[in-house]
Amino acid sequence: MRLLPILLAVFFIVPLIEIWLLIEVGSAIGAPWTIIAVVFTAILGGFLVRAQGWSTYKRIQQQLQRGEIPAVEMFEGLFLLVAGALLLTPGFFTDAIGFLCLLPPLRRALIHSMLKRGLVQTSKPAKRDDNVLEGSYRRMDD
């Protein structure tokens, strides 16, 4: 699948959708209320992303302390980063997608789906052999 045409389509279509929605909402409830709604969703989204980000960070730390690989949690962090960027972007369409990224069941289902399809690959670390002495050397006879 070619990524460039998809990105170009997203960069042209999403702003058009945002402008259309802002005009429609602005004509229905008025410009001041539209601006208030956009600012409110950005502030609310920021608080939610921060709270879920700390929760994800704590789960990552717990799994690392147990010696486990926090693959799903790392992808959750990536989703939260995307959600934060979408929620800070003015507009209702990006806010809707950002809030969908904040729903933990939906987010985890998407991550598990991506992992099952092989869109993202994780690998396990090599087992450590305690009998191996690691170091460096330098030849002194030259």
- Distant-in-sequence, close-in-space partners of 111: CB < 8 Å, separation ≥ 6: 72, 75, 76, 79
Domain that holds residue 85: 31-117
Residue 107 covered by a domain: yes
Residue 16 covered by a domain: no
Helices 104-117 + 71-88 axis angle, to 10: 120
Total number of domains in the chain = 1
Average pLDDT on 91-102 reads 94
Residue 7 covered by a domain: no
Residue 71 covered by a domain: yes
Is the entire prediction scored with pTM above 0.95? no
Per-residue model confidence as pLDDT tens digits over 102-119? 999 999 998 888 888 876
Per-residue model confidence as pLDDT tens digits over 19-70? 999 999 999 999 999 999 999 999 999 999 999 999 999 999 999 999 888 8
Residue 97 covered by a domain: yes
